[in-house]
Amino acid sequence: MAKRRKNTVDFVEEVAVPEERMITLSDAKVQFLRDVRGLAKQTQRWHKENLNALEKVLGMQSLVIDDCRKLTVPFLKDHFVFYVLEELGLKVNTINGRIRSVRGLIQFLHRENYLPRDYSADLPVLKAEKVIIQAFSEEEIARLLRQPNQSTFTGLRDYTVMLLLLETGMRISELVGIQVADAHIRDGNILVHGKGSKQRLVPIQSKMRQVLQKYMKERGNALTDALFVTIDNEPIAIGTIQKLIKQYGEQARIANVRVSPHTFRHTMAKYYILAGGDIFSLQRILGHSSMETVRIYVEMFSHDVNLQHSKFSFVEHRLS
């Protein structure tokens, strides 16, 4: 005889899954710092300094985070990690401290249901020995420079921007800081306002002068003194140039090298050294306060220098 069915139903209480919520970076920072109040005072100050730095660096690029879901790993790498490494020149240990606080913020946001998952482990710290300086090849440069439509104002502007980065190796923050009066085309130089309010004159050659003169003619008069402007005659922002150069890299199908304004700086340094330029003048042109980074360029491109030497060695090719 079959066992009789129980005539009652066990109701399982449904547990509501909390919906994801939006939070600005500014508010998230405040909540996170409240959450870590149980830690040592020194650790609390360390987290505060690191997250303040995150907000400041994004602000330098005109980026305001109104929803922390925008803080994806690719976004943080491009606009924070690489920016402080390449543009601001922070030491690896300092950057890793910043990264660890950002990781903690991501974990906190996930716990509080502001992020769908905890991807903090996907944001790796840097290893000093693996910080590699990348540069474009000549073929990649040619492909990049073919992308802007120079029959338009914005295309001519973007072509001029990339060419000027390649010609001078200046930082993107220095480029957006150039004013019309700083471009001394007749004298063949540009007054650059560098880090720490230091100024330097950077030389430009005839081809660059011709392109710059053409752009300035199309630019005409604007209410701003900024040399590089938008279609609305407003000073162009760092983030806009970063985005445009990245898009041109995608159009040019450049995949093995990070396409960013700072890669133009590395590329300028590489070919300057290969052409026989001395590291002391390169240091002045790039605006480095010490020879340390310039020496890194020489070490990183030593293989290319050896190949160049094999082609032009006087002893090898001129003596019998």
**Contact in structure between 245 and 254 (CB atoms under 8 Å):** no
Judge whether residue 309 has pLDDT over 70: no
Task: Point out which residues pair with 314 in neighbouring strands.
Answer: none
User: What CATH number does the domain located at 25-128 have?
Assistant: 1.10.150.130
What's the DSSP call for residue 179? B
SS3 201: strand
Average pLDDT (135-155) is: 94
Q: Is 265 a known active-site residue? A: yes
Report d(CA 208, CA 142) in Å as an integer: 15
- Catalytic choice (209, 219, 270, 288): 288
Best mean pLDDT range from 12-16, 93-97, 274-278: 93-97
221-252 as b/e, with b when 16 or more CB fall inside 10 Å? eeeeebbbbbeeeebbbbbbbbebbeebbeeb
48-78 as b/e, with b when 16 or more CB fall inside 10 Å? eebbebbeebbebbebebeebeebeeeebbb
Judge whether residue 261 has pLDDT over 50: yes
Task: Point out which residues pair with 183 in neighbouring strands.
Answer: 190
pLDDT at 194: 82
Asked whether the whole model's pTM tops 0.85, one would answer: no
Residues with Cβ within 8 Å of 131's Cβ and at least 6 positions away in sequence, in order, are 85, 92
Mean pLDDT of the chain: 85
DSSP tally for the chain: helices H, then strands E: 15, 3
The fold for domain 138-312 equals: hpI Integrase; Chain A (1.10.443)
**Contact in structure between 54 and 102 (CB atoms under 8 Å):** yes
Report d(CA 287, CA 31) in Å as an integer: 40
The residues spanned by each domain of the chain are: 25-128, 138-312
Average pLDDT (264-289) is: 84
Q: Is 83 a known active-site residue? A: no
Q: Is 130 a known active-site residue? A: no
Q: Angle CA(63)–CA(169)–CA(197) in degrees, nearest 5?
A: 65
Q: Is 262 a known active-site residue? A: yes
Report d(CA 47, CA 60) in Å as an integer: 20
- Catalytic choice (265, 266, 271, 272): 265
**Which of 6-20, 22-36, 128-142, 276-290 is least confident?**
6-20
- Catalytic choice (262, 270, 271, 272): 262
Over the stretch 210-242, which tens digit does the pLDDT of each residue have? 999 999 999 998 889 999 999 999 999 998 999
- Helices 25-35 & 41-60, crossing angle to 10 degrees? 170
Residue with tokens 């547990």: 15
- Catalytic choice (103, 171, 266, 270): 171
Q: Is 318 a known active-site residue? A: no
Report d(CA 45, CA 296) in Å as an integer: 33
